[in-house]
Chain A
Amino acid sequence: DAMVIQNPRYQVTQFGKPVTLSCSQTLNHNVMYWYQQKSSQAPKLLFHYYDKDFNNEADTPDNFQSRRPNTSFCFLDIRSPGLGDAAMYLCATSTATGGYEQYFGPGTRLTVT
């Protein structure tokens, strides 16, 4: 019954070593989001896809990239992880942007050593 699935749940990577986080959904939603959440903070939107249209937040570092090969899957690529990128990464989906509720996955906790 899982609707938004994130793999892996825990990821350890080395400083500077590229890493990819994955998200899939069974809701057939048009929009997929990636959020970064650091300890005791609110989620921070990195970017989102509306169908194939990519929308980057102005303050998202270039180190973060995303791909959405089809409706169901979306990937977060961190090209050269730094210690400051250690966080929980949350994927979410919604029917459309704006006033529609977002459905979140369980998150991937990234550790950078």
Chain B
Amino acid sequence: AQKVTQAQTEISVVEKEDVTLDCVYETRDTTYYLFWYKQPPSGELVFLIRRNSFDEQNEISGRYSWNFQKSTSSFNFTITASQVVDSAVYFCALTEGDRKLVFGTGTRLLVSP
């Protein structure tokens, strides 16, 4: 069965600090997809990234970077030089093959000025 664990319930940082959000997953399939979504206070989930199980390349997009390590079943998300606008709940999610998307419980990030 697929499972996603986000052990950090809430993280508070001061603007310009770097912050890493952890995501650990469980799956028995060799083909799976991992996602990160951002949910700002407005409520809409915003897609950030998708990674398939055969692509372990790390990715950087502006201040965002993702570290995918199959050896530790982790897909961590780092925000460099955090800003107040980064304050949101971040969800890591997993889908196996054609099955439904399973979300972690989310990490609430609070960035203060």
Could you tell me which A residues sit within 8 Å of B by CB distance? Answer: 40-43, 45, 48, 57, 88, 90, 92, 97-99, 101-107, 109
Contacts and interface: CB of A to CB of B under 8 A. Distances in A.
Interface of B: 32-33, 35, 37, 42-47, 50, 52, 91, 95, 97-101, 103-106
Given A88-B43, A107-B44, A101 B50 contact: yes
Contact of A103 (B33, B43, B47, B95): B47
Given A42-B105, A42-B106, A98 B43 contact: no
A42 B104 CA distance: 7
Most chain A CB within 10 A, of B42, B44, B52, B101, is at B101
Contacts, number: 49
Contacts of B99: 98
16 contacts: A42-B91, A42-B105, A42-B106, A45-B100, A57-B100, A90-B45, A92-B45, A98-B97, A101-B35, A101-B47, A104-B37, A104-B44, A104-B45, A104-B47, A107-B43, A107-B44
Nearest to A43: B103
